[in-house]
Amino acid sequence: MSRHHSLRTCEAEAVEADDELRACYARHRRLHEAADWVGLADLFTDDASYLDSVYGWSHGRTAIRSFLAESMQGLDGWSFPIHSVAYDPTTSRILNHWSNRLPGTRPDGTFYEVPGASVLTYSGDGLLSCQMDLFDTRWMRREIEAWIADHDGQLPYPEPTP
């Protein structure tokens, strides 16, 4: 996965109506909520690109499938609540605001979470050509460190393997 990328693959033509955008995002959300990473990868074109703030760029459906399987493995108990969604048929974009929420709550009842936003580019035929997931990795690190401190040194995800 490369950190260098041209945003040309994230450009798209306008779509006739936002019904297509809404239908594509509804499928995307159902698959994400079901943790169906293979199915989610199938929503991307063969030459799609995906940006994650930690992992960088993945290019092509096969690489996106591998990235999703690797990055989401072992995140049982994590959730990603969606706070708002906007559709822009003039740019074929879907924008959403979400949280990356770790399992459980702090002793004071608040969540260990980091806000994020995604920009999804619709390419037609029910497929996406690009997704960019953007969040502050330093904030994420602080939340994970707080979670570990409150859970006797346990990690909120599986131990990485070399």
**What would the pLDDT profile of 43-65 be if each residue is shown by its tens digit?**
999 999 999 999 999 999 999 99
pTM of this structure: 0.86
d(CA 83, CA 29): 13
The verdict on residue 34 lying in a domain is yes
pLDDT in tens, 100-157: 999 999 999 999 999 999 999 999 999 999 999 999 999 999 999 999 999 988 888 8
* b/e sequence 15-27, b meaning 16+ C-beta within 10 Å: beebebbeebbeb
Question: Helix, strand or coil for residue 12?
Answer: coil
CATH of the domain at 81: 3.10.450.50
What is residue 123's three-state secondary structure? strand
φ, ψ for residue 143, nearest 5 deg:
-65, -40
Give the model's pLDDT for residue 76: 83
What pLDDT is stored for residue 13 in this prediction? 58
- Looking at residue 3, what is its pLDDT? 39
1: in domain: no
The domain in which residue 92 lies consists of 12-150
Q: With 90 as the cut, is the pLDDT of residue 87 above it?
A: yes
Give the per-residue pLDDT at 7: 52
Arithmetic mean of pLDDT over the chain: 89
What is the reported pLDDT for 8?
Answer: 52
Asked whether residue 33 is domain-assigned, the answer is: yes
How buried is 13 (Cβ within 10 angstroms: 0-12 exposed, 13-18 middle, 19+ buried)?
exposed
Domain count for the chain = 1
Domain membership flag for residue 103: yes
- Please count the other Cβ atoms lying within 10 Å of the Cβ belonging to residue 134: 12
Q: Does a structural domain hold residue 46? A: yes
Question: Is residue 83 domain-resident?
Answer: yes
| Domain presence at residue 130 | yes
Q: Is 130 exposed, middle or buried (0-12, 13-18, 19+ CB in 10 A)?
A: buried
Q: Is residue 89 part of a domain?
A: yes
pLDDT at residue 12 is higher than 60: no
Quick one: average pLDDT of 12-25?
Answer: 78
